[in-house]
Amino acid sequence: MSGKLIPNVISVANQKGGVGKTTTAINLGAALASTGKKVLIIDLDAQGNASTGLGVSQKSRQTSMYDVIVNEMLISEIIRDTDVSNLSIAPSTTDLSSADLQLANIDNRTIKLKNAIMKLGGEKLNWDYILIDCPPTLGLLTINAFAASKSVIVPLQAEFFALEGLSQLILTIRDVRESINNTIKIEGILLTMYDRRNNLSVQIEEDVRQNLGQLVYETVIPRNVRLSEAPSFSLPAMIYDHKCAGSIAYQKLAAEFLVRQKQKTT
């Protein structure tokens, strides 16, 4: 990332839980890292699933994103390497569940993460991409993530209520753009848990593409047992089983993502 201090910061967000948000952060991050990109995942979810899924045990998290957001610790002080070359993580703990309340009366409460990432850039660590795994809410932590991000990837489960709630997320991004961060936009909508044998999945895909057009990634992430198993072994799917359908899909997503990134700079 020659000459750049502030990398591409991208939130992975959806206020609905169980849509493949953390799975996407972990596996897109790993797939990008496998191409030689230097990637940092910021775990901003108090559940800490991204941290666990990348091998950082609960017991070993003496410091976390809570200390960064609330106590203004430097992100560089909490970053942990993972078993994936070029992929690091800033872990979270359950302490983050109280962060919204503790930040409520602070003047700069919406830009705490942005300020921390700006300091990270100033330390010239030269990350190519920072992926923020957001909590499944539109609270202060997610607003902090949006304030710090250039764009948002939205995992969208291929189910009947897929588009329900998406309008609220889009409105929140618009509000952030108008008040805090005038450059943020939707990077892409990613269909997850897709089953080609299920007519409903196909119907939902057609509906989403018709409504959102080119915002929707061509790549879709299938329902895949190996993809679901990988976090219990503290590994991204492409390390756990690089030939499984889920792993292949995230590698395709990384390739599509990079093509889109290149198109933006040409």
The letter for the amino acid at 23 is T
- Angle formed at CA 110 by CA 113 and CA 65, multiple of 5 degrees: 30
pTM of the model: 0.94
How do residues 12-54 score in pLDDT, each as one tens digit? Answer: 999 998 899 999 999 999 999 999 999 999 999 999 999 999 9
Q: Percentage of the chain surpassing pLDDT 90?
A: 77
**pLDDT (0 to 100) of residue 3:** 39
Among 192, 176, 212, smallest CA distance to 16 is for 192
Helix axes 140-148 and 112-122, enclosed angle (nearest 10): 40
**pLDDT (0 to 100) of residue 121:** 64
Backbone angles phi, psi at 28, to 5 degrees: -65, -40
124 has pLDDT over 60: no
pLDDT band at 235 (very low <50, low <70, confident <90, very high): very high
Contacts of 126 (CB under 8 A, 6+ apart): 1, 4, 5, 7, 38
